[in-house]
Chains A and B, each alone.
Chain A
């Protein structure tokens, strides 16, 4: 069934159709919110809230933007809000730790080390820079799509991408400097 058919069925009261939509897009929403907030309960809550918001405003969705873009926009806005809340709570309680990355216990330790370093570096970026990195590299969105999602001009997307990569390179320089000749990409599962 297409997205439009599933949306129509949901509006007509078929909740199982909505569940199919959630299953179809949960990976995409996960990449966005976990990319922005790191693994953990906060990301899960924001992910759930994304679909709940979508469900409540289902009748307002007119299909002008693709469902993927629409959901990503909701997920991104909710992630920005969560980051604001996190910053405020850190100001109130300075001991609150930033729940950044869960280190996964897999056999490929070398890959994991690089992965965790890069993930931590991404999380050190300011939210507006982090957003373009997440959308461009984790979600493989085009510059035009990123511009639509974040509602900023394409030139701004490009300049933010450049500045974000420049900052990332500075953070990762000790790890990925000249001595690091081979870069491990995702291991085959």
Chain B
């Protein structure tokens, strides 16, 4: 069976066909026993689908929704929420400042380098412990 005819057959169940489409489908149906059988099977399947039991949740579903909605928040949630509130703004402010400084640096030197705007310090553990190591070696 041609795919276009099959698509037209399916479409005829859910949407109104144009006059031309309807004529085409009718002529195909009148000339093909297999297409008629296909139509019958589709009708049967759609009938079964439409007659399916409507499932439902377990009893007292609304009560469970309300309990979930109205129960006091978990303490750990509250803790993380307050952390987010306290440091969230700080993090945004820091990001804005760093972006601003980078832009300033870019404009001034035409070569943005993060180390130019951040305080330069010792980079790794060895360098950090260097004075102490030197003292011990002496």
Contacts and interface: CB of A to CB of B under 8 A. Distances in A.
Q: Are A and B associated in one complex?
A: yes
Interface of A: 15, 18-19, 22-23, 26-27, 30-31, 34-35, 39, 43-44, 47-48, 51-52, 55, 104, 114-115, 118-119, 122, 133, 136-138, 140, 143, 158-159, 161-162, 165-166, 168-169, 172, 176-178, 180, 183-186
Given A26-B56, A133-B49, A176-B48, A162 B11 contact: yes
Given A44-B58, A166-B6, 14 more contacts: A15-B70, A19-B66, A26-B56, A27-B56, A30-B56, A34-B57, A115-B52, A115-B53, A138-B54, A158-B10, A165-B46, A169-B45, A183-B51, A185-B51
Tell me whether chain A's interface is mostly helix, strand or loop, or mixed: helix
A180 B63 CA distance: 43
Interface of B: 6-7, 10-11, 14-15, 37, 41-42, 44-58, 61-66, 68-70
B48 A22 contact: no
A-B pairs, top 6 by smallest CB distance, nearest first, are: A185-B51, A162-B10, A34-B55, A137-B49, A22-B62, A186-B51
A43 B57 CA distance: 8
12 contacts: A18-B69, A44-B61, A47-B57, A51-B69, A52-B69, A104-B53, A143-B14, A158-B10, A162-B6, A172-B45, A183-B48, A186-B51
